[in-house]
Amino acid sequence: MTTSNISHQTPIASKSIQETLRQYPLISFFVLAYAISWVLSIPAVLAEWNVLPNSVFIIFFTIKSFGPFLAAYIMTRVLDGREGWRNLRSSVKNFRVGWQWYAFTLLAIPALLLVAVLILPGALESFQGFPVNFPMVYLVNFLLIFFGGGALGEEPGWRGFALPRMQAHFGAFRATLLLGVLWTFWHLPDFLTIAQGGGPEVGLSPFYTRLPIFFLMVVSLAFVFTWVYNRTSGSLLMALLLHASLNTFGIVLPLFSAPIVTSTDIVPLMGFVSLAALILFLTRGQLGYDQPDQNPL
């Protein structure tokens, strides 16, 4: 094969890929998000299982969370060019949403989770107290999680790219249910690491001991995210703050020594199942969505 033949075939192949991406934008997005994150998870898993140095774990566990972000960037540029990516980024700047949404994401969510902790048997008695520097520790962890612990890496994909298109095609309830399922199983490699109680000491047991609870928790949480996103006119900033807020609460749990708090996902499961059920009841399953435009898969 000559060089000229290769040069002619490369643009054709590239154009064919772009046409496929344009024809199936949602399917393409999820394939890319899974592929990027799962490939980047391999070194983290190998480090957890003592095949690679431990220092490798935190690096790749952090960057793998940007799979949805990269998938959203690729798909948005293919579909809508620079203007489309500029519009998606502008939703992060949508901060004029009313003080009540900041209170909900930054205060009500941690309060809800704290109440869920306190009603667990033996939890209150096991509380060790807040350290003097806890407010500063909480703030630092919030910022780290916002920029590198899931929020910024995931939300431009899940809520920025996928949710608007899925709602337009399926409606709010079915779109959120499907997104919740796909969001859950995107985390599967985490169950081979300490992030979800995995590792060489426990083998594959987290997949059947922790995954069912995690599944119910994430699907319930997806309904909360959709409601917040719709009620704030598609503010990606609110989705980022909500994601960071719920993840940051994880540093509160070790202050309770009761195993039911520290060794299970019962706390967030109770909190978010209850909240999702309330939101679905009050909105009659509409989740604040009222725009019936149609988009292709």
Does 288 reside within a domain? no
pLDDT score recorded for residue 43: 97
Q: Is 138 helix (H, G, I), strand (E, B) or coil?
A: helix
CA 41/CA 51 separation, integer angstroms: 13
At residue 57, what are phi and psi to the nearest 5 degrees?
Answer: -60, -55
256 vs 114: CA distance, rounded Å: 11
Q: Are the beta carbons of 208 and 197 closer than 8 angstroms?
A: no
Residue 113 lies inside a defined structural domain of this protein: yes
State which residues of the chain have pLDDT below 50: 1, 3-4, 6-7, 293-296
Q: What is the domain range of residue 187?
A: 3-283
On the 0-12 / 13-18 / 19+ scale of CB atoms within 10 A, 249 is buried
Assigned domain for 290 exists: no
Residue 16 included in any domain: yes
Query: For position 296, what pLDDT does the model report?
Result: 45
Number of domains in the chain: 1
Residues 239 and 242: their CA atoms lie apart, in Å, by 5
Q: How confident is the model at residue 174, as a pLDDT?
A: 97
Q: What is the mean pLDDT of the chain?
A: 89
Calculate the dihedral angle through the C-alpha atoms of 282, 288, 292, 294, rounding to the nearest 10 degrees.
-120
Longest dimension (CA), the chain: 76
Q: What is the pLDDT of residues 228-280, one digit of tens each?
A: 999 999 999 999 999 999 999 989 988 998 887 877 777 778 889 999 999 99
Report yes or no on 191 lying in a domain.
Answer: yes
In whole angstroms, what is the distance from residue 225 CA to residue 241 CA?
Answer: 11
pTM over 0.85: yes
At residue 122, the 3 state secondary structure works out as coil
